[in-house]
Structure 1
Amino acid sequence: MSKPRLKLHVRILSEEQIAFGPGKAGLLEAIQRTGSISQAAKSMNMSYRRAWQLVDTMNQCFQSALVETQTGGTHGGGAVVTEFGQVILKKFRAMEQQAAKALEHDFQELSSYLKSPQ
């Protein structure tokens, strides 16, 4: 018997582009872990092309790059989340927590009206 839970999707839009959201935050975290867009994509069951598109959108929407890449050589290429990217990621995760906290009371009240699972 699982109890009700609140699931928010915070997204930051720039024009019609999603500049940042949960998927892009997860991708940045995966890039930090793996040091590679390709490996980050694999770890998220995402194509490299899709991951690259998300990185490109983030880099174009913000004043400074969130991810920097190095081309392959004898030791291969790589990617790094910039200091600016780390700031954006940290602020975004804080926004998610603040939004959930702000809605907690209303969520508890509303969820009390849900039917109990059979």
Structure 2
Amino acid sequence: MKSATEDRLVPILRISFPDNDRLGRGKMELLERIRETGSISAAGRAMDMSYRRAWLLVSELNRMFNEPVVESQRGGQKGGGAALTPFGGELVERFRNMERALRSSLAGDLAWLESNRAPRTVSGE
């Protein structure tokens, strides 16, 4: 059974760059998980993503900006890891702020859409 929040209309922010790069919630979640785990592979696993895919997304993010978003540390007792740079941390915070602003600015229109949306029936009812 779906919760009430799963059945709501939700605006999704995705920023398309002129060179076909995109910035969206998946990359932001990956960065947040890297911040939490200190590891690209652990962040990818937490998202059901291969290490290669996670590494490619990090590489893409680092290429998209003038400053690196994630830095990896090699070696050491724990075998290295990864961390957000100060720029990477600010990128996540600004993106999350943009999402909140989007939801806030569209709240009235979303409420109108919701009130005019046809009821959804589940098969078998």
Q: TM-score, normalised by structure 1?
A: 0.90
Report the Cα distance in structure 1 between the residues aligned to 2:106 and 2:59, rounded to whole angstroms: 33
Structure-2 residue corresponding to 1:17 = 21
Report the Cα distance in structure 2 between the residues aligned to 1:102 and 1:75, rounded to whole angstroms: 45
Tell me the alpha carbon deviations over residues 49-83 of structure 1, each in whole angstroms, 9 at most, x when there is no partner: 11001100100001100100012344201000111
Report the Cα distance in structure 2 between the residues aligned to 1:114 and 1:93, rounded to whole angstroms: 27
Structure-1 residue corresponding to 2:110 = 107
Give how far 1:117 is off: 4.5
Give how far 1:87 is off: 0.5
Matched residues, number: 117
Structure-2 residue corresponding to 1:31 = 34
Instruction: Indicate the percent of aligned positions where both proteins have the same amino acid.
Output: 42
Would you say 1:80 and 2:83 are equivalent positions?
A: yes
Query: Which has the larger displacement, 105-114 or 21-30?
Result: 105-114
Give how far 1:113 is off: 1.3
Give how far 1:9 is off: 2.2
Unpaired stretches in structure 1, ≥5 consecutive residues = none
Q: What is the aligned-residue RMSD (CA, Å)?
A: 1.7
Q: Amino acid of the residue matched to residue 110 of structure 2?
A: F
Structure-1 residue corresponding to 2:44 = 41
Q: Which runs of 4+ in 1 moved over 6 A?
A: none
Q: Conserved in 1, the CA contact under 8 Å of 2:9 and 2:114?
A: no
Tell me the alpha carbon deviations over residues 72-110 of structure 1, each in whole angstroms, 9 at most, x when there is no partner: 344201000111101010000000110111111011111
Give how far 1:111 is off: 1.1
